[in-house]
Structure 1
Amino acid sequence: MGRQMAANPEQQGVAPEPRYLISDLCEDLEAYLPPEQVRDVYRAYLFGAEAHEGQHRMSGEPYIYHPIAVARILAGMRMDVSSIIAAILHDVIEDTPIAKEQIEQAFGEEVAGLVDGVSKLTQIHFESRAEAQAENFRKMMLAMVKDIRVIIIKLADRLHNMRTLGVMRPEKRRRIARETLEIYAPIANRLGMNSVRLELQDLGFSALYPMRSRVLKEAIRKARGNRREILSKIETAIMRRLVQEGIPGEVRSREKHPYSLYMKMRAKGLSFAEVSDVYAFRIIVDKADTCYRTLGIVHNLYKPVPGKFKDYIAIPKSNGYQSLHTVLFG
């Protein structure tokens, strides 16, 4: 969103992070982009900084720091140079007198199309409440975009806005958080952008339901206790059995994320104590056939919970995700 403003860490009693500058971005980009493309990014920064001159975020910082932060997120994904430049310029059409034609003249048709696409997403309006339902909004966003990079830039924009939400008024903070949970996190999931989805959900949950988020995180922390040692033992037992069976693979244990636990508790009317699968193991093998073999091995090690098996290999999720899910008695 063009006019989303950033939080001031000093106002919240938190030591501010070192400022991420265009020089830092260029240094990060040099790891995978050729020098001439990094120079184009710097030229886009000068263009954007001039266009946004005099504009500030709520924190008081110059507005250009927000597009640089969005570009940083995309650089972390190793996005192409056109996406990085479009991220730096993504609010120029919406928030400054600069027209699409000027961007096209300076940076080409591809970049101009991306910037224009992000601007149009921000300007979606609906005639009725039914049209504005989250599912319809998600469908319209995905349908109107010709280049998937527009959605990825928009997700990076929303992610940085969520990271810097603290200075907003409570009612606006909750509205943006709800929108993030209902629209942007599901789109990230649909695109297979799991780390972005998880962070959007965590930030959205904390902003929309701060008390519930704190209580649930504390419950998870207390339940953790000596379970890390138990998880390590289970991980070792599974890995040992895979080696015995001659199956090359990788075993990772993880803690379920607070928002997914909260949604499960709410949907099934459970207390935290009644949620059995707070922890999970991910076993990564080479092909689908090996997945089924590994499932049998795991079911021999630990008793499966009846009715809890899901086959996402035979019936993949809408985003293409394929795996086997099972719940076991520890």
Structure 2
Amino acid sequence: MGFRGQPPRRDGRTPAERALGLAAALADLAGAGLPVDAAIIAAAIVADAVDARLLHIRSVEAKLGPEVAGLVHDALAVRHAPERVELYDDEASSAIRDWVLSAYDVRGAVLEVASRWVGMAHVRGLPVYEQQLVALEALQVFAPLAHALGLGALGAQMEDAAFQVLFPQSYAATGEWLRSLSGRAHSLLDATADALAAAAEADAEFKALAGGVELITRTKSQYSVMRKLLGLDNLAAGGRRRDQLYDLLGLRAIVEPRRDLPPDQAEAAATAACYRLQQLAFELCPPLAGRSKDYVAAPKANGYQSLHATLQLDGGAGGGDGGDAVADAWSASTTAQSTWEECDGAASGSTGGGSMDATSSPTAVTSWAANRAAAVSSAVASPVSPPNAVAAEVEAHVLRYCELQVRTVAMHAAAERGDAAHAGYKGRVDRRQNGVLSL
């Protein structure tokens, strides 16, 4: 028996529609350059049938070969992995990801992550409590797994969709607030980048050490802001107010090595240039005390290297030439803004606290989401707009600070794609698995 004549599932899609929709999505991902091959797509078409016992795994092996059958087996093991724990707390979720990545073909994990990603687009067809349970699994297990597999875009979209289901009012309020800041944020980032570029160009010491610098700006994505405001990065600590955000704005400087030097000497000089460029940034905009980290001199355990600091764009508590310089540049013509997907392993810490019963009743799941949102309603979803003076003060705070990262080209390549990548750091993908995903 196959999919023919099978009724729609609870999300409104027939089994055939689910299978073909997933296969089409995987084909699109392959076309975009993600690690998806023909075996994964073939496994996607038959995985639901095997899971529903409409098709035996031996038939898959006989017709499509042992590779596809193995991927189906592994994908279904990943699908049912959350059933192995009683609580969806951070410790259990991390254990699930570690187990999946160490015990199964990473392509099977990619397949199930893609299936969950597609499923989130159809979650509204489910009863409300099932929507919330599916969204919670996506947020706690499958979105982090996507990041660990190097599928950051899928993970971000799952997180975004999950937030809309679990915290609809908070999500809408936060999105409206961020959109209201967008124009000013982009202008200030461009002004800050222009000022730092000019300082680097005028500095003889920096120019003697480096071949150049690329400056990339970004505003923090809505799902990342939501994670902080809702306290999902540290459930035990609770949510944060908007005026406790210090990294809505971000500036990354990638220092290029000199091409006229041997590679080792060029990298050493570029590393020294990172420190010089950071000092130039501090002269423009003083650093906020207690928020600077040197991961170049003391790399993370996974090898991640970068200089981190929070700049005070207003010149700091006492004012100063740096803040004035950026303020003067504010009114200058702006340039096109670049963005980077936020996936900084070194700046992210382990999460703790909070839990959800994996076999929760509809009431329990609904209560978890309601309680989590209520805990920070004053920060992100108040039905009454704050007084203009308070709103202006909060906006001034979040636009006052900018997260600065400085690294060499080699450090950047390792952070984005190598063993020091966010995937390896957060998901504990080992060197072998990183190699498989990079093929």
> Is 1:99 matched with 2:50?
no
CA offset at residue 143 of structure 1?
A: 3.4
Pairing partner for 2:154 from 193, 196, 200? 196
1:276 matched to which residue of 2? 246
Query: Structure 1 residues 294, 317: CA separation in 2 closer, same or farther (over 3 Å shift)?
Result: farther
The match for 1:82 is: 39
Q: Provide TM-score, normalisation by structure 2.
A: 0.57
For residues 253 and 129 of structure 1, the distance between their equivalents in structure 2, rounded to whole angstroms, comes to: 39
What is the CA-CA distance between 1:272 and the residue it aligns to?
A: 1.4
Counterpart of 2:80 (choices 108, 114, 123) is 123
What's the C-alpha RMSD, in Å, of the aligned pairs?
2.9
Shift of 1:119: 1.4
Q: What is the rounded CA distance, in whole Å, between the counterparts of 1:130 and 1:182 in structure 2?
A: 7
Match of 2:12 in 1: 59
Distance 1:268 1:207 in 2: 20
Q: Deviations over 1:21-67 (max 9, x none)?
A: xxxxxxxxxxxxxxxxxxxxxxxxxxxxx932233353356333332
* Residue equivalent to 2:94: 135
- For 2:26, the equivalent position in structure 1 comes to 71
**How far off its partner does 1:329 sit?**
0.6
Q: Which amino acid aligns with 2:26?
A: A
Secondary structure (helix, strand or coil) at the match of 1:277 reads coil
Structure-1-length-normalised TM-score: 0.73
Say whether the 8 Å CA contact 1:51–1:96 is kept in structure 2.
Answer: no
Matched residue of 1:54: which SS?
Answer: coil
Per-residue CA shift, 1:215-252, capped at 9, x if unaligned?
11111112224332222222222333444534433222
| Larger mean Cα displacement after TM superposition, 103-112 or 187-196 | 187-196
Partner of 1:17: none
Task: Measure, in 1, the Cα distance between the counterparts of 2:238 and 2:280.
Answer: 30
Larger Rg, first or second structure (1 or 2): 2
Aligned residues: 279
Aligned pairs for 1:1-330 within 5 A: 51-55=2-6, 56-57=8-9, 58-60=11-13, 62-75=17-30, 76=32, 77-124=34-81, 125-126=83-84, 128-129=86-87, 133-145=92-104, 147-244=105-202, 245-246=206-207, 247=210, 248-265=212-229, 266=231, 267=237, 269-286=239-256, 289=271, 291-313=274-296, 314-316=298-300, 322-330=305-313
In the aligned structure 2, how far is the partner of 1:156 from the partner of 1:241?
Answer: 45
Q: Is the 8 A contact 2:215 2:254 kept in 1?
A: yes
Contact preservation (8 Å) 1:74, 1:153? no
Q: Which has the higher contact order (CA 8 A, sep 6+)?
A: 2
3-state SS of 1:166 partner: helix
* C-alpha spacing 1:292/1:176, structure 2 compared with 1 (3 Å): farther
Distance 1:167 1:127, change over 3 A: closer
Question: What runs of 5+ residues in structure 2 fail to find an aligned partner?
Answer: 232-236, 257-266, 314-439
Distance change in 2, residues 1:59/1:322 (3 Å): farther
Q: 8 Å contact 1:251–1:283 — kept in the other structure?
A: yes
Matches of 2:94 and 2:2 in 1, distance apart? 35
Amino acid at match of 2:41: I
Write the distance in 2 (CA, Å) between the matches of 1:321 and 1:98. 46
Percent of residue pairs identical: 27
Structure 1 residue ranges without an equivalent (≥5): 1-49
